[in-house]
């Protein structure tokens, strides 16, 4: 077995991703059930239930359509964030998986990047499930909606990287509640998932526009509703900016914790 014992630089994160995928695939059925049933319940309860009380459309479309596209984004955020926090923390601290990887030719950078891309992939999986449901319910305009998939992956990577930054400094699982309560939940409620941002006070609007979920929705919702995409560069730029900041920061902070 005297051959090269390590992969070329560009692909070193792949075994880390594959390890996580293999674990996910073992419990693929219950995982997918959660990915499908939960958004379905939200769509039925809020979309039909709440939507039936609405006398007019929401931002020009039926509320169910509006909600489905918002949830496709929120789900990528939530799934990637939780993977990058609770699951990554378990692997980093409780199971020693990361240090185990780092005693092979993989480096800390490979491990962190693999984890972030995996978190993004989990975000993609959950968005894909919602897109499927929405398509079956007739809530998607046309085939342009397939662009949602690569975008959901990028959005997932963005939130995954932010989550790993938090994980790197977390002392225990309870620490994640700060991040969820102070950032994830406000974004979920105030970035345009359930209602347009325009109606909110100016200050909240500015706050929402500084955070990535607003821009994820700005990209994904028009694609699902068959509307014109505007401000694509701005939206991609903000999400890309968060990625460009969070990934090196995550590598650095995890390094400070594990490479003592």
Partner 1 sequence: MQVDNAVIRAQALCKSYQGQRVVDNIDLMIQAGECFGLLGPNGAGKTTTLRMFLGLTLPESGSLTILGHPIPAVAREARARIGVVPQLDNLDPDFTVAENLRTYASYFGLRGAAVETRITQLLVFANLQHKTDAPIDTLSGGMKRRLTLARALINDPQILILDEPTTGLDPQARQMIWQRLRELKQQGKTLILTTHYMEEAQRLCDRLAIIDHGRIITQGSPDALIQQHIEPYVVEVYGNGVQAASLADGSLPRSARIEQVGETVFIYMSQEDPNVMAMCQRENLRFLHRRATLEDVFLKLTGRDLRE
116 forms bridges with which residues in the sheet?
none
Smallest separation, CB 83 to partner 1 (Å): 14
Residue 1 binds partner 1 (CB under 8 A): yes
Q: Which is nearer to partner 1, 136 or 259 (CB)?
A: 259
Say how far apart CA 60 and CA 64 lie, in whole Å: 12
Q: Does 10 bind partner 1 (CB under 8 A)?
A: no
Residue 230 touching partner 1 (CB under 8 A):
no
Q: Any contact of residue 104 with partner 1 (CB under 8 A)?
A: yes
Comparison of 5 and 203: residue with beta carbon closer to partner 1 = 5
Smallest distance from partner 1 to CB 27, Å: 9
The DSSP result for the chain, as a single string, is --S--S--GGGTTHHHHHHHHHHHHHTHHHHHHHHHHHHHHHIIIIIIIIGGG-SS-BTTB-HHHHHHHHHHHHHHHHHHHHIIIIIHHIIIIIS-HHHHHHTTT--HHHHHHHHHHHHHHHHHHHHHHHHHHHHHTT---SGGGGGHHHHHHHHHHHHHHHHHHHHHH-SSGGGHHHHIIIIIHHHHHHSSSSS-GGGS-HHHHHHHHHSHHHHHHHHHHHHHHTPPP--HHHHHHHHHHHHHHHHHHHHHHHHHHH--
The residues in 149-178 that bind partner 1, with binding defined as CB under 8 A, are: none
Q: At its nearest, how many Å lie between partner 1 and the CB of residue 218?
A: 37
Q: Which is nearer to partner 1, 101 or 158 (CB)?
A: 101
Closer CB to partner 1, residue 189 or residue 259?
A: 259
Task: Kindly identify the residues of this chain, within the stretch 23-62, that bind partner 1 according to CB under 8 A.
Answer: 23, 26
100 binds partner 1 (CB under 8 A): yes
Q: Which of 18, 181, 185, 230 binds partner 1 (CB under 8 A)?
A: 18
Q: Which stretch binds partner 1 (CB under 8 A): 36-44, 198-206, 215-223, 252-260?
A: 252-260
Nearest to 70 by CA among 9, 29, 131: 131
Q: Is residue 260 close enough to count as binding partner 1 by CB under 8 A?
A: yes
When asked if residue 19 is in the footprint of partner 1 (CB under 8 A), the reply is yes
What distance in Å separates the CA atoms of residue 89 and residue 43, rounded to the nearest whole number? Answer: 31
Q: Which is nearer to partner 1, 113 or 187 (CB)?
A: 113
To partner 1, the closest distance from the beta carbon of 96 in angstroms equals 3
Q: Enumerate binding residues for partner 1 (CB under 8 A).
A: 1-2, 4-7, 15, 18-19, 22-23, 26, 95-97, 99-107, 258-260
């Amino acid at each position: 077995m005297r051959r090269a014992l390590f992969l070329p630089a560009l692909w070193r994160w792949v075994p880390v991703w594959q390890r996580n995928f293999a674990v996910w695939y073992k419990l693929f059925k219950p995982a997918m059930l959660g990915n499908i049933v939960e958004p379905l319940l939200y769509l039925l309860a809020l979309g039909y239930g709440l939507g039936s009380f609405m006398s007019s459309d929401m931002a020009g479309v039926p509320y169910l359509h509006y909600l489905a596209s918002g949830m496709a984004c929120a789900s990528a955020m939530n799934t990637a964030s939780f993977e990058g926090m609770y699951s990554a923390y378990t692997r980093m601290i409780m199971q020693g998986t990361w240090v185990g990887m780092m005693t092979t030719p993989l480096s800390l950078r490979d491990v962190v990047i693999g984890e972030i891309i995996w978190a993004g992939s989990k975000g993609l999986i959950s968005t894909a499930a919602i897109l499927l449901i929405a398509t079956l319910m007739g809530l998607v305009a046309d085939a342009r909606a397939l662009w949602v998939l690569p975008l959901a992956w990028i959005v997932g990577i963005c939130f995954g990287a932010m989550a790993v930054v938090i994980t790197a400094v977390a002392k225990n699982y309870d620490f994640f509640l700060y991040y969820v309560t102070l950032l994830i939940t406000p974004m979920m409620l105030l970035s345009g998932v359930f209602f347009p941002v325009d109606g909110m006070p100016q200050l909240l609007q500015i706050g929402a526009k500084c955070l990535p979920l607003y821009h994820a929705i700005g990209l994904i919702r028009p694609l699902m509703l068959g509307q014109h995409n505007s401000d694509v560069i701005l939206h991609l730029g903000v999400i890309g900016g968060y990625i460009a900041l969070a990934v090196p920061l995550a590598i650095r902070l995890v390094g400070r914790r594990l490479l003592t």
